[in-house]
Structures are given as C-alpha cells and as structure tokens.
Amino acid sequence: MGNRYVYSDLNTPYQNSNLGYDASHSFIRLVDLSPGSNDEELYCHIRHSPLKNGIKYEALSYTWGSPDRVHKIQCGEDYLQITITLKEALLALRLPGKRRTLWIDQLCINQEDIQERNSQVKIMHLIYKHASRTVIFLG
C-alpha cells in the first residue's frame, strides 16, 4: 500500500482515471465507502462511472469547512487528506455492514485540474439529478 498524502496535488490518485474535459459529460467519479464501525479507519475506493439513469449513488451536500483542518482517509492504495467536516460526514454516513456509493465533490472532482473542475461544475445539476437521493450533512 502506498504512503502518499494527497491534498494539494490531487492528480496522484487520478492518474489512471483522468476525466479531463468531457464534452459529452458522460462520465463522473464515484466513491465506494467501505463499511465499518465508528472506531475503524475510513476506507474508500474511487471509480469511473457513466452519468446516466440507473447508476445507484447518493450525492452528498455539505460545507467543506476549513482547509487547515484535515484528516487522512485511505482511498485505494493512496491516502487522501479530506476536511474534518467531510470526515464527520463520512463517519455519520458509513454503514456498518454494507458499502455505500456516494458522489462527493471534494473526492470525485480533481480540484487541481482546472479544465476537469470547470467541466464537472457545469454538470453538477445532472449529477444531483441522476443521484438516487441527495444527502445533506449539517454537522
């Protein structure tokens, strides 16, 4: 397993799943949040998925919080730094015995790739529309 900590260089976990500019707006990334209890570390996997009806995922709406307060999460073989607010949301949403598939802007959009970020922001209304539901985390 890798020991990379990624926050300012978000290209690392996305090297093999580059969305880049997608004029068709046909693909997004989804986070598969592994099951666990409150005392277990968070673990997830990021994957490509077509953006269409029938793909089961929940969209997460939350405030990012301070970028100075971060926590690490293992995502595949990498470690990503996420905001404390997102950590709290993931702990609250994690199921004890079942994987949960989520779309989370902080993890599903490569924030360092301006072209990708702009492209994905333009289709956020579709991302929320195609979600099976939107979960709003208030803290």
Domain boundary assignment for the chain: 27-137
Q: CA–CA separation, 132 vs 101, rounded Å?
A: 10
Rounded to whole angstroms, the Cα distance separating 61 from 89 reads 10
Per-residue pLDDT of the chain (139 residues; tens, 9 = 90+): 343 333 334 444 544 455 554 556 688 999 999 999 988 999 999 998 999 878 899 999 999 888 788 899 999 988 888 999 999 999 999 999 999 999 999 999 988 888 888 989 999 999 999 999 999 999 8
R_g (Cα) of the chain, nearest Å: 14
pTM attached to this predicted model: 0.82
**pLDDT at position 89:** 96
DSSP string for residues in 23-74: TT--EEEEEEEPP--TTSPPEEEEEEEE-STT---EEEE-----TTSEEEEE
- The reported pLDDT for the residue numbered 3 is 36
